[in-house]
Amino acid sequence: MTSTPEPYRVMTVCTGNICRSPMAEVVLRERLREAGLADRVLVDSSGISDEENGNPVDRRARQVLQAHGYPVLEGHRAHAVATSEVVERDLLLAMTAQHVKALRHLADHAGAETTKVRMLRSFDPDAPRVEPGGRESRLDIADPWYGGIEDFEVTLQEVEAAADGVVAYVRSQLEARDAGGGA
């Protein structure tokens, strides 16, 4: 009898969990589905702050996602990331350097690997390169909440530009896990 392997768990993280991280969640789910990995990878999202707890996805984020053919994220309610979620996820994709710092702090205090915390845009081959010790803020995805619909369009473009790199990375992690090398 063969057992079903544990799913690979990815969490996208922004500030309030109503704009950037839910948009990234939807895009990554769709790209993973297209890559045939939907049954092996779980994607969810959270925020660093609890200021939006319980709120749905911002209407502008929903509008831009739908205009580009993405499914609606039904039933989404914003929540702040819990330490247990940081421990349980295999990959945490932050929208800004400040989010990285907060997530690594949580991971470090929980005894979890801090290397699983990455900037989402670090997977975009055309994003600014950041050398070790460099300024990760060059990879920030700006918060569109303060702007108009065009800012949400930019957010979607930046998320989409990184999505294929994330899928390739996750595929390599699954292959390593399948080969017995862990993830």
Catalytic residue ranges: 14, 20, 143
Residue 136: band (very low, low, confident or very high) from pLDDT cuts 50, 70, 90: confident
Cα–Cα separations (whole angstroms), residue 79 to 27, 52, 76: 19, 7, 9
pLDDT tens, residue by residue, 3-29: 678 999 999 999 999 999 999 999 999
pLDDT at 131: 67
Answering whether pTM is above 0.75, one says yes
Query: 140-163: buried (b, 16+ CB within 10 Å) or exposed (e) per residue?
Result: bbebbbeeeeebbbebbebbbbbb
Q: What is the mean pLDDT of residues 114-118?
A: 97
pLDDT tens, residue by residue, 29-67: 999 999 999 999 999 999 999 999 999 999 999 999 999
For 124, half-sphere exposure in the C-beta direction (CA atoms, 13 angstrom radius) is 21
Range in 72-76, 79-83, 115-119, 158-162 with the lowest mean pLDDT: 72-76
pLDDT at 183 over 80: no
Q: What is the DSSP letter of 113?
A: -
Q: How far apart are the first and last CA of the chain?
A: 23
Question: In order of start, what are the domains of the chain with their CATH numbers?
Answer: 8-178 (3.40.50.2300)
What gap in Å lies between CA 79 and CA 57, rounded to an integer?
A: 11
What gap in Å lies between CA 183 and CA 180, rounded to an integer?
A: 9
Mapped onto helix, strand or coil, the DSSP state of residue 148 is coil
